[in-house]
């Protein structure tokens, strides 16, 4: 698939719209309009949708979607105030089929593939992803992607 310039603010707002109906909490979006990345918009949407679905399963009340430009890179953060993840699990989260609490996670549905897919998509875009979390406080997934300029004006 041919990568195209994607405005990060639009991407975040589209995901917010998509989750509005199924999520009772608040989704806040904060991103400068001039920040762009290059990629497949559907795949990047899938990354954000997977991260939001996880935050909602973790009983978040508020989800923050933030992005900013950092020179040649763009940083995106998905922060939630859900139940958090015990430290010993953090190094394994992006492994296929890895789940923190087998019984609980099975009840909540899913297969443990979401974050492995997130990582694969981001790496295919020249990106990186990492996680910070504190039990009882919440979780933040961050990823970086190469920055892009806006699309060329139509002739
Ligand atoms: P799938 O995404 O395939 O439907 P899943 O959500 O269980 O299933 P992943 O998205 O890969 O799988 O997440 C792996 C595990 O990491 C989850 O089962 C959950 O325990 C934990 N996890 C992921 N994101 C969060 C989060 N924001 N807060 C708390 N725990 C999380
Ligand atoms: Mg998931």
pLDDT in tens, 69-103: 999 999 999 999 999 999 999 999 999 999 998 77
Residue pLDDT, tens place only, 119-152: 999 999 999 999 999 999 999 999 999 999 898 8
What is this model's ipTM? 0.99
Contact 64, 77 (CB under 8 A): yes
Which parts of 24-122 are beta strand (E)? 26-30, 36-39, 62-70, 73-80
Ligand closest to 117 (CA) is: 1
Please give the model's pTM, rounded to 2 decimal places. 0.96
Q: Which residues contact 64 (CB under 8 A, 6 or more apart)?
A: 28, 30, 77, 78, 79, 80
Q: Which atom of ligand 1 is nearest to the CA of 82?
A: 28
Ligand closest to 60 (CA) is: 1
């Amino acid at each position: 698939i041919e990568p195209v310039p994607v405005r990060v603010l639009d991407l975040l707002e589209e995901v917010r719209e998509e989750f509005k109906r199924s999520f009772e909490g608040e989704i806040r979006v904060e991103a400068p309009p001039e920040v762009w990345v290059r990629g497949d918009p559907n795949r990047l949407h899938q990354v954000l949708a997977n991260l939001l679905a996880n935050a909602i399963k973790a009983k978040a009340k508020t989800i923050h979607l933030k992005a900013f430009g950092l020179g040649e890179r763009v940083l995106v953060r998905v922060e939630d105030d859900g139940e958090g993840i015990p430290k010993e699990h953090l190094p394994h989260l992006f492994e296929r089929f890895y789940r923190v609490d087998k019984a609980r996670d099975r009840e909540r549905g899913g297969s443990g593939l979401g974050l492995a897919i997130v990582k694969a998509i981001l790496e295919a875009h020249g990106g990186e992803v990492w996680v910070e979390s504190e039990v009882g406080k919440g979780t933040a997934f961050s990823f970086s992607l190469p920055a892009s300029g806006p699309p060329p004006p139509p002739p």
